Structure 1
Amino acid sequence: MSQPDLCMTLPNGRRSLTGSAIALGPLDGRYKAVTEPLVDYLSEAALNRDRIHVEIEWFIYLCKKSVLPGLSPLTEEQELALRSIVTEFSPEDINELAEIEATTVHDVKAVEYFIGRRLAAIGLEHLTPLVHFGCTSEDINNLSYALGIKDAVHHVWIPQAEELITQLRTMAEDSAHTPMLSRTHGQPATPSTVGKELAVFAYRLNRHLNAVKEVQFLGKINGATGTFSAHIVAAPDVPWLKISEEFVSSLGLSWNPLTTQIENHDWQAELYHAMSRFNQVLHNLCTDIWNYISIGFFRQIPVAGATGSSTMPHKVNPIRFENAEANLEIANALLGTLSATLIQSRWQRDLTDSSSQRNIGIAFGHSVLAMSNVVKGLKRLDVADDVMAQDLDQNWKVLAEAIQMVMRAEAIAGVEGMENPYERLKELTRGQRVDAQRLQEFVASLGLSAQAQKRLSQLTPALYTGIAPDLVQFMNRSN
């Protein structure tokens, strides 16, 4: 195939940039270094390699089981030679497949012919009719997609998610005892610790990661409408149900016994929903971190030589988290569309799933890119404990909750003068500036028991964190 002319002039008078080395999208261009591992599993070339793998394993399996008259197990050398078509799949093979498909105008048929061309050299030319025996294209496609998606999940997406959660856990443990003022509805609220708040996200993300890990990857091989009709006519005495289940299981997939022409993709929807939930929680983390940076709770460690703003030299922008937000939104838009589209098919078959599934790698790419950016962003954060300490010291009114709760306990214990604790603290603090002295004077005037008086007199916003440091340990729970 000839390459586009890089000297071609566009209608606007500029030189054309079209060419094989120039990417249209950011995943294969600007961010290629991050997303490239997905190429091995979710690219068009990877799909074709997996199709060849499924076709060859089916060929070998039928011979091994002597499913048809005249079939017998292949020699070890013949099996190795067949499997080497997959293990040695090369750029030249990719081009050859493209050339065959240009004639067939059918991608799976091109794979069948591609394999058939190689059988003579292995001494198996007489078995050319066995290639794709009993299969509709979707028998090959559904298994190939399942294998590629499974590998992408387990070898790329999950490791990246685990690295992210590990980074969060490390930060949570390191800052488990660092007090910070909470903000509910954006207003000063009961203090927590940095570690406990990060642990909340680590726990949430880990739950959704576990949901991804628990998804079953289903597959089927049962003919044009899932009825084994051609199989039964061609070989009526063969236990096709058993063979179908054994073969699908041999690929490391879960067998789906009841389908139309397609495997109905419900497992993909389950997977993408789980991934979407993970992504949405991560988006929540990004916006929280962004806001903490904006109020000075976290300091960003500058990258040597980097520029934050083209005009404001002082700026260190939270670009990693902003980048992640955008990519998570794109990923979830695609995952949502895939989830909704793939579980629907008109009657026994339509091609909407075929076009949709070609975008799976893009959805994965934006998710992986986002996680990578969050990891990099978290690694360049410093906890600004001095800023947090100042913030706490300016918000003694948050102790109003503790005081009124002690008053309630005192009233229950029979201490006089503890009426209307909530209303009295509301009057003291709401819309008012309350410092340590004023709050302590109020506490001293209440007539509390000696024990309660002592507890409250020693309490400060920085010490009002309950068992937040102890709660960090729960982020490692799997449920």
Structure 2
Amino acid sequence: MTGLFDGVLNHGPLGPLTDDTAWLRALLDTEAALARALADTGLITPERAEAVAAACAADRYDPADLGRAAAAGGNPVIPLVARLTENVRATRPDAARHVHQGATSQDVMDTAAMLLVRQAGAALRTELADLTGELRTLAHRHRTTPAPGRTLLQQALPTTFGAVAASWTSGLTGAADRLDQVLDHHLAAQLGGAVGTLASLHPHGPAVAAAFAARLDLPEPFLPWHTERGRIAEIAAALGRVSGAAGNVAQDIVLLAQTEVGEVTEEGGSGVGGSSTMPHKRNPVAAVSALAAARQTPGLVATLFAAQIQEHQRAAGAWHAEWLPLTDLLRRTGSAVSWLRVSVARLRVHPDRMAANLDLTGGLALSERLTADLTPELGRLEAHQRVTTACRAAVDEGRDPVEVLAEHLHGLRTRDRISVLLDPADYLGAAPVFADRVTGRTGRTDPTDNEEGTDER
């Protein structure tokens, strides 16, 4: 069932991978793996294990019914085990007593959470790879496209839009790399029994735990981790970083798409980005939706971090507090990345508007360069003072900065030389080089690239 807000906040492939059915399937896969692990270690016959596994079909159980029944025991595993046992008993009575043997509810919930994270994480990896690939193309295409660099939301010095896109790419790539590390090295099965000793399976407990992890293709933990929640915190931090990197890009796109800025637009076709009251609007709705999802993740990360503090061998509420925040964190992170992919695919870049915005200061944004050019003759302090005085006079008098600077620097620099020094296209520093570091290419070698100064993708 699709919720009222899912179209915006549960967008992309991670939604179906984290819904109630996905959770139920992971819980049942865990129970099936436990039965087979018992058989692998000789504690039950393979036939009995397969009877349990056969009853672990998700379509035989109702998540809503299990949710209602969970209130009595405090978690959904208790009613699930009861119904699973009934189903096994109906076909193989001698196998029913082996359902959930040696495990506790938290073993099943924690292991199912790891399966869910692994599955959703794989989809998120694919989304991130596709997104960063598109951003690399954008960075290469605009490696030398001059654009205003802004600090504190004010124009500072010129950069290139390619360098901006490269920075976006670098942030997302770093976040994706950390997510890879967590998914590859911090997931683990959970099987500890009542207090983490596997006493009911003694002396076979460690062997069953190893077989259980192998059945699920999850790493076997060094110890049961019922109240040591470091791996949940690692997952939360990695997802939070991905979401933050995606939100950072989305925020820039939203700002650059403002009417008064107009350096990019999202073009999603007819009916996309409109307003309920203003026909003229063309909102960057994909970037806005990515930002909406990303802004929810810090609180979810904080909840999961706070839940690390747990009591003795089983938490009284902190473990329970993880379930929904972890699920929602996966969904919101997936939504942020998925919506950002849509935004980047729709993005149209307007180099002419970037050039016009650079001209708004009349070259004053390049005053640093003029100061540097005068420093060998005047010293930095005097050069800075003279250029600052001229720039303030140009602003106060509403005159052409080049003319005012030429007057103030008479005999030091000609008007033509000042014009050259204030040309933003000639003061891009290492911006193209930095774009190339991300793309792995140099120069504008793509024959499909448009000429700068025209609207382009």
Match of 2:335 among 369, 384, 405: 369
Identify which range, 214-223 or 198-207, moves more after superposition.
Answer: 214-223
Which residue does 1:38 correspond to in 2?
A: 15
Q: What SS class does the counterpart of residue 190 from structure 1 fall into?
A: strand
The amino acid that maps onto 1:278 is V
CA distance in 2, matches of 1:446, 1:99: 80
Specify whether residues 121 and 418 from structure 1 end up closer, same or farther in structure 2 by C-alpha distance, changes over 3 A only: closer
Match of 1:190 among 135, 138, 157: 157
Q: Who wins on radius of gyration, i.e. which is larger? A: 1
Q: What SS class does the counterpart of residue 280 from structure 2 fall into?
A: coil
Q: What SS class does the counterpart of residue 446 from structure 1 fall into?
A: coil
Ranges in structure 2 where 5+ consecutive residues have no aligned partner: 441-457
Q: Per-residue deviation at 1:196?
A: 0.4
Q: What SS class does the counterpart of residue 312 from structure 2 fall into?
A: coil
Which residue does 2:80 correspond to in 1?
A: 111
Match of 1:139 among 107, 128, 138: 107
Identify which range, 211-220 or 124-133, moves more after superposition.
Answer: 124-133
Specify whether residues 228 and 168 from structure 1 end up closer, same or farther in structure 2 by C-alpha distance, changes over 3 A only: same
Q: What SS class does the counterpart of residue 295 from structure 2 fall into?
A: helix
Q: Per-residue deviation at 1:463?
A: 1.8
Q: Per-residue deviation at 1:357?
A: 0.5
CA distance in 2, matches of 1:36, 1:298: 27
Q: Is 1:330–2:307 an aligned residue pair? A: no
CA distance in 2, matches of 1:319, 1:164: 17
Preserved contact between residue 418 and residue 446 of structure 1 (Cα < 8 Å): no
CA distance in 2, matches of 1:252, 1:337: 29
Which residue does 1:429 correspond to in 2?
A: 391
Q: Is 1:266–2:230 an aligned residue pair? A: yes
The amino acid that maps onto 2:111 is L
Identify which range, 391-400 or 57-66, moves more after superposition.
Answer: 391-400
Which residue does 1:257 correspond to in 2?
A: 222
Which residue does 1:348 correspond to in 2?
A: 313
CA distance in 2, matches of 1:302, 1:357: 36
Q: Is 1:403–2:370 an aligned residue pair? A: yes
Q: Per-residue deviation at 1:146?
A: 0.9
Match of 1:206 among 164, 173, 187: 173
Which residue does 1:3 correspond to in 2?
A: none
Q: Deviations over 1:328-353 (max 9, x none)?
A: 11233223212322x12222222332
Percent same amino acid at aligned positions?
22
Preserved contact between residue 203 and residue 474 of structure 1 (Cα < 8 Å): no
Which residue does 2:147 correspond to in 1?
A: 180
Specify whether residues 62 and 301 from structure 1 end up closer, same or farther in structure 2 by C-alpha distance, changes over 3 A only: closer
Count how many residue pairs are aligned between Structure 1 and Structure 2: 427
Which residue does 2:347 correspond to in 1?
A: 381
Preserved contact between residue 240 and residue 301 of structure 2 (Cα < 8 Å): yes
Specify whether residues 381 and 431 from structure 1 end up closer, same or farther in structure 2 by C-alpha distance, changes over 3 A only: farther
Which residue does 2:130 correspond to in 1?
A: 163
Specify whether residues 85 and 34 from structure 1 end up closer, same or farther in structure 2 by C-alpha distance, changes over 3 A only: farther
Query: What does 1:173-322 correspond to in 2, within 5 Å?
Result: 173-215=140-182, 216-232=186-202, 236=203, 238=204, 240-259=205-224, 262=226, 264-294=228-258, 295-301=261-267, 303-306=269-272, 308-322=274-288
Preserved contact between residue 203 and residue 476 of structure 1 (Cα < 8 Å): no
Q: Deviations over 1:128-166 (max 9, x none)?
A: 3222221111122211111112111112x2222333322
Which residue does 2:36 correspond to in 1?
A: 60
Specify whether residues 167 and 22 from structure 1 end up closer, same or farther in structure 2 by C-alpha distance, changes over 3 A only: closer
Q: Deviations over 1:63-86 (max 9, x none)?
A: 1221x4xx45x26xx776654544
Specify whether residues 430 and 208 from structure 1 end up closer, same or farther in structure 2 by C-alpha distance, changes over 3 A only: farther
Q: Deviations over 1:213-269 (max 9, x none)?
A: 11111232121111233333xxx4x3x334423432442323333346x25332111
Which residue does 2:5 correspond to in 1?
A: 26
Q: What SS class does the counterpart of residue 299 from structure 1 fall into?
A: strand
The amino acid that maps onto 2:115 is L
CA distance in 2, matches of 1:398, 1:313: 36
Q: What SS class does the counterpart of residue 257 from structure 2 fall into?
A: helix
Preserved contact between residue 102 and residue 193 of structure 2 (Cα < 8 Å): yes
CA distance in 1, matches of 2:176, 2:198: 37
Q: Per-residue deviation at 1:179?
A: 0.4
The amino acid that maps onto 1:268 is I
The higher relative CO (CA closer than 8 Å, separation ≥ 6) is in 2
CA distance in 2, matches of 1:314, 1:207: 38
Specify whether residues 259 and 313 from structure 1 end up closer, same or farther in structure 2 by C-alpha distance, changes over 3 A only: same
Q: What SS class does the counterpart of residue 294 from structure 2 fall into?
A: helix
The amino acid that maps onto 1:289 is I
The amino acid that maps onto 1:164 is L
Ranges in structure 1 where 5+ consecutive residues have no aligned partner: 1-20
Cα RMSD after superposing both structures: 3.4
Which residue does 1:460 correspond to in 2?
A: 423
Preserved contact between residue 225 and residue 259 of structure 1 (Cα < 8 Å): no
Specify whether residues 32 and 405 from structure 1 end up closer, same or farther in structure 2 by C-alpha distance, changes over 3 A only: closer
